[in-house]
Amino acid sequence: MTPKTSSGHPQHIIVGLVVLVCFTALFFMYYKPAISWLPCPRTEPTPDTCKHVCLDVPKMEKAAQLGNNCTLNYTMVQQQTADTQSPVLESAQNTKVVLIWSWPFGHHFNLDSCGSELGITGCRLTDDRSQLDKAHGVMFHLRDIGGDLSYLLTLSRPPLQKWVWMNMESPANSPQLPGADHLFNLTSNYRRDSDIWVPYGRLIEASEEDKKTFQIPTKDKLVCWIVSNWNVNYKRVGYFNELSKYINVEGYGRHFDKYIDQDDYAKVMSSCKFYLSFENSIYKDYMTEKLFNALKYGTVPVVIGPPRVNYEEYIPGDSFIHIDDFGSPQELAEHLKLLDQNQEMYEQYFAWRKYFTVKESPFGLEHACRICEYLNKNHNFRVFTNINQWYWS
């Protein structure tokens, strides 16, 4: 007969219960679950209790920054963790405010389009001068400063705020600012040595759709020129007068009493085999919309401007004709007539369209957005000690 305890149960059952109790105790002493399902105590906990119970939740390290009080529940700590990592908050902290002191030439643009137009984020543009003390940068268009200069010299500004001199006219068509030494921190200009470089246009890699759809437009004119600013002292005027003796040039614009609107502009330019992309003044890097519009609308630009080597830093050498390549306007005229008679030679000027397309720079908008982009990336000291010497020397 099996012996029994005084309570009447078999002895091996008691042994089994003891083993079970010991195993359970060891389990809770040494097992730490990956996800804590234990509630935080509602009474004041010890530091060890807080560490091992409350904070043993994924990413609960953030709670330790709140102290050792574990009365915060899981949901509250989780929300705190999410908030500190919120892209919205990070974006707000990194947003740079750029004040447009005056609209360049009165040209307004969408203040909210840095992202959509240029893919530049972390920017807020404003034209509200009451925000001057909050702006990280202020854009001043040179031609619109005028009588504001004396007023600007009296303004106090935050030590870290950057004042940006912005100008897209050549030195010959830009007013100097006597007394503006040390006034500006940065420059934004077409010149490559500007702090914030914004050319009139650029060639970018063409999309597959652009490569497939581009065709040389139908031509019914040989040489064209659209011009309003006529000055007999300009090199381009003298050259045109000589060139037109040897080849017919279709003239448009105010000077020729043939005003055309924007729609007609594109149609006229694309209908010409060659377009006179003659700059009004000759300076390094000064290649304006006269060049990039010709390339965009499918004609071959004939250029007056900086040397060929400077053009070739921006566009392929076989995409344009430079007057410096010819001994005289008459020689140029003869070359244009030759190309008119040889379609294969003419089409070689469009070989670049297999790889590139033209991207214009939105005037004013790109400057403001690039200023913002610069401020987000650069936090160094910078001041222009003599803006006049730099630009007009």
**Annotated catalytic sites, by residue?**
169
Nearest partner of 383 among 208, 73, 165, 149, judged by Cα: 165
Residue 135 neighbours by CB under 8 Å, 6+ apart: 97, 98, 99, 126, 161
DSSP strand pairing (249-252 vs 186-189): unpaired
Residue type, 385: T
Q: CA–CA separation, 81 vs 374, rounded Å?
A: 31
Closest CA to 109 of 120, 125, 98: 125
Give the whole-angstrom CA distance, residue 192 versus residue 200: 12
What is the C-alpha to C-alpha distance for residues 189 and 130, in angstroms, rounded to an integer? 26
Q: How far apart are the first and last CA of the chain?
A: 120
Question: How far are the Cα atoms of 79, 118, 128, 131, 234 from residue 373, in angstroms, in the given order?
Answer: 32, 11, 20, 19, 37
In the block, tokens 């003869």 appear at 334
Contacts for 389 with CB less than 8 Å, ≥ 6 apart:
none
Q: Yes or no: say if 84 and 343 are a contact pair by the CB < 8 Å rule.
A: no
DSSP E strand stretches across 28-122: 96-100
The token duo for 171 is: 């030195």
> H-helix or E-strand containing 278?
strand 272-278
Q: Give yes or no for a contact between 276 and 224, defined as CB atoms under 8 angstroms apart.
A: yes
Q: Which residue carries 């502009």 as its tokens?
A: 265
